[in-house]
Structure 1
Amino acid sequence: MASDPSVWRVRPEPGPLTPPTGSGVLDGETVAVKDLFAIAGQRIGAGNPAWLAAAPVESTHADAVARLLEAGAALAGIAQTEEFAYSLTGANAHYGTPPNPRAPGRISGGSTSGPTSAVAAGEASIALGTDTGGSVRVPAAYQGLWGIRPTHGAVPAGGLLPLAPSFDTVGWLAPDAGTLARVGEVLLPADTAGTGTGRGLVVSAALLELAAPEVRDVVDQLAQDAGAEPLDWAPEPTWLAAFQTVQAAEAWAAHGAWLADRMDTLGPAVRARFERARSIGPADAEAARIVVAQARAQIREQLADRVLVLPSAATVAPLAKDAEAARAATMLLTCIAGIGGLPAVSVPVATASGLPAGACLVGPAGADRALLALAGGVGN
């Protein structure tokens, strides 16, 4: 059966695209790789046909890809992303919107859209993606999968096409906590911090209120069941705008030279973001960086060694017509881990109506492996 082009850009039949180069804890696993990572003998497409046509053939694998192959995983293929990973809906103006097998008729979530749909459909067992502003956590929530955004810089980003390096992380998704953790054994360094020493999990009513009632209720229940204590804290209103300004400035720094006379190659939503990015001056970018730095310090001070429980996304997977409206509310939640540079694990939960949602555990920097273990216990 032919592969869905909205999910896969390259998927040989029979596969794999690339066999394992070694053996280890990932023997027998198959990986759908987001089309931002270098794969030897292939081009990086970045969700944009014009970029793909001009891209060189890669001579070596990205660092994360090479590690997965060495641990026994095979590459099932290259899966679609939203253009330059600059969106959260999953829609790609050129290739279409990958389906959501766990919530048919609703969007898949992005920008790790193709790999997530591939895992949700059982066409791969691991999705290798990126998370800058929620691009692993949001599709994980929408499609009922486990996903992690590691501590910023914990996983090497060599061979990865950047969006905003101050926030970009290499993340992954899996259908169960065990597989998610085994990938962590391969990609993550040893922990340099612990989680919850003496104080445990916390939950903020202000953050829960940012989510739709059906999501808020199920995340609050998970927090209560896990023994989370109340935290009287909320992010400052200026933080999201500062995060988005820094993200935009860095996105233009990364891709503006190429896009300057090729803006017409972008779909409308992503083009609008890059148009804004082009308009940001150095003074505005620097002012936003100062806000982000102050916010990071406050987030880390507030959480210390505790683990914050909050919704991975503000809603269940919306219908396509509601996608952009849902994005704004969700980013108020997802930007906390991004600004803090903190690890965040999305634990799948189900709403009262049976739709997938995500409860996110945000832990201390450098406590990624401990956070995976904690999430596995909370979610099972």
Structure 2
Amino acid sequence: MPLPAGSGTGPLAGVRVAVKDVVAVAGQRTGAGVPRWLERALPAAASAPALQALLDAGAVVAGLARTDELAFSLLGVNAHHGTPPNPAAPGRVPGGSSSGCAAAVAGGAADLGLGTDTAGSLRVPGSWCGLHAWRPTHGAVDTTGVLPLAPSFDTVGLLARDAGLLAAAARVLLPGASAPARRPAALLRSRTLLGLAEPATARAVEAALAALAERTGLPVRDVGDDVTADEAGEWAAAFRTAQAAEAWAAHGAFVTAEPGALSPAVEARFRAGERTGAAQLAAARAVVERTRARLDAVLEDGWLCLPSTATPAPPVGAPPELLEAVRAGTLPLTTLASQTGVPAVGLPAGRAGGLPVGLCVLAPRGEDRSLLVLVAGG
């Protein structure tokens, strides 16, 4: 079946979209990065509403883009299909799980990537491939027709080389009429969260924050009641528990029915959800709610700025223990927006050790348009 056609006219006329292979594309089978999943899949009767909105606005599908297995990774490594290239950092992983989207956009094969972000799957590849990334307010963009991972945290968002295009495409996906953009009182810096990044990354992020402040005319202020490293570790652990439980609920039947269909590392993440008891899950949900209230209080004073990732992209072929350490180090940064449901925009922050890294800005829930106006010029 041919790829679905766009309207040909509209604000995104001619924009080429790389579609993550967890998003339904009319007439195509969704593979989700797993050959056995693709074998079982039927062609989609219709495109996911998010994709259809882009097509109605004039965009065209450049192709279906690779993803990490069932979107349960942050690295961009796929045991079945290999690792997509990172055009911004050759020889390094692109980040995932929206890995193919990032590779296509960074390499110029597409202008826009339509992907998902559960625990950072747009913001991490955005950071490592030198791209702009948008994770919307949870629930703001329709996820119908998109393969779930952990529905409490799943979102559909975008990657782009150009900040203006990112904002224009986001406006197409956001429901309702545009309200006047709101400016925060300040850009907030958490010394604790900066300290979770390795030093060169933290320096690049601080420089990018200073440049953003100069461009926007907003002051940079330290968070008054800063989070602690223990808090960050606690919310990351709670997120992983809740995410694994939801992921097992979504795909445990497939994992059980198709032994060996997933790589051992990815299957282990799903199996962690199988072992999560009700009391453990309830305790994790309680931490998520406390974290949400904590961030809401912080965002009353300004919009929070933090590293998109803890490090630059690791090398392709790095040992599994290094890849897991990079993933674990980045989750306390990415999962703050994920579990609290706030919008986040990742911006290229320059380079650390010659490799791209990103600055991420978090705004209150529902302030996507204001955030995009401020940081992406939309």
Shorter-chain TM-score bucket reads: over 0.9
Partner of 1:342: 342
Amino acid across the alignment from 1:234: V
Identity of aligned residues (%): 51
Choose which of 259, 284, 287 in structure 2 pairs with 1:288: 284
Amino acid across the alignment from 1:371: L
In the alignment, the residues of structure 1 paired with residue 252 and residue 7 of structure 2 have an alpha-carbon distance, to the nearest angstrom, of 36
Q: TM-score, normalised by structure 2?
A: 0.92
Tell me how many residue pairs correspond in the alignment: 363
- Which deviates the most, 128-137 or 38-47? 38-47
Choose which of 246, 251, 256 in structure 2 pairs with 1:255: 251
Amino acid across the alignment from 2:367: A
Choose which of 201, 216, 227 in structure 2 pairs with 1:234: 227
How much has 1:134 moved relative to structure 2? 0.3
Task: Give per-residue Cα distances to partners, 1:264-321, cap 9 Å, x unaligned.
Answer: 1101221111121111122211221121112111111221262111000011111131
How much has 1:323 moved relative to structure 2? 2.2
How much has 1:352 moved relative to structure 2? 5.3
Amino acid across the alignment from 1:372: L
How much has 1:23 moved relative to structure 2? 1.8
Q: Does 1:371 align with 2:371?
A: yes
Q: TM-score, normalised by structure 1?
A: 0.92
Choose which of 26, 29, 45 in structure 2 pairs with 1:59: 45
The alpha-carbon distance between structure 1 residues 83 and 206, as it changes in their structure 2 partners (threshold 3 A), is same
Structure 2 unpaired stretches of 5+: 214-218
The DSSP-based 3-state class of the residue aligned with 2:271 is helix
The alpha-carbon distance between structure 1 residues 194 and 364, as it changes in their structure 2 partners (threshold 3 A), is farther
Q: Is the 8 A contact 1:248 1:274 kept in 2?
A: yes
In the alignment, the residues of structure 2 paired with residue 200 and residue 287 of structure 1 have an alpha-carbon distance, to the nearest angstrom, of 34
Choose which of 165, 189, 199 in structure 2 pairs with 1:203: 189
Matches within 5 A, 1:1-380: 17-189=3-175, 190=177, 195-197=182-184, 199-225=185-211, 226=213, 227-232=219-224, 233-234=226-227, 236=231, 237-304=233-300, 306-320=302-316, 321=318, 322-351=322-351, 353-376=353-376
The DSSP-based 3-state class of the residue aligned with 2:25 is coil
Q: Is the 8 A contact 2:136 2:157 kept in 1?
A: yes
Structure 1 unpaired stretches of 5+: 1-11
Amino acid across the alignment from 1:261: A
How much has 1:19 moved relative to structure 2? 2.1
Q: Is the 8 A contact 1:41 1:59 kept in 2?
A: yes
Amino acid across the alignment from 2:273: A
In the alignment, the residues of structure 1 paired with residue 82 and residue 132 of structure 2 have an alpha-carbon distance, to the nearest angstrom, of 24
How much has 1:165 moved relative to structure 2? 0.5
Task: Give per-residue Cα distances to partners, 1:230-256, cap 9 Å, x unaligned.
Answer: 114125131111111110000011111
The DSSP-based 3-state class of the residue aligned with 1:260 is helix
Task: Give per-residue Cα distances to partners, 1:156-196, cap 9 Å, x unaligned.
Answer: 11101100000000011000101101101100134679654
How much has 1:353 moved relative to structure 2? 3.8
- Which deviates the most, 36-45 or 216-225? 216-225
In the alignment, the residues of structure 1 paired with residue 128 and residue 45 of structure 2 have an alpha-carbon distance, to the nearest angstrom, of 35
In the alignment, the residues of structure 2 paired with residue 213 and residue 50 of structure 1 have an alpha-carbon distance, to the nearest angstrom, of 42
Q: Is the 8 A contact 1:191 1:370 kept in 2?
A: no
Task: Give per-residue Cα distances to partners, 1:90-134, cap 9 Å, x unaligned.
Answer: 000100000100000111100000011011111010000000000
In the alignment, the residues of structure 2 paired with residue 263 and residue 153 of structure 1 have an alpha-carbon distance, to the nearest angstrom, of 33
Partner of 2:216: none
The alpha-carbon distance between structure 1 residues 173 and 325, as it changes in their structure 2 partners (threshold 3 A), is same
The alpha-carbon distance between structure 1 residues 305 and 230, as it changes in their structure 2 partners (threshold 3 A), is closer
In the alignment, the residues of structure 2 paired with residue 47 and residue 249 of structure 1 have an alpha-carbon distance, to the nearest angstrom, of 21
- Which deviates the most, 204-213 or 299-308? 299-308
The DSSP-based 3-state class of the residue aligned with 1:361 is strand
How much has 1:228 moved relative to structure 2? 1.4
Amino acid across the alignment from 1:345: V
Q: Is the 8 A contact 1:202 1:229 kept in 2?
A: yes
Task: Give per-residue Cα distances to partners, 1:336-367, cap 9 Å, x unaligned.
Answer: 10111010000002125432110001111101
Amino acid across the alignment from 1:183: A
The alpha-carbon distance between structure 1 residues 195 and 267, as it changes in their structure 2 partners (threshold 3 A), is farther
How much has 1:373 moved relative to structure 2? 1.2
Q: Is the 8 A contact 2:309 2:330 kept in 1?
A: yes
The DSSP-based 3-state class of the residue aligned with 2:330 is helix
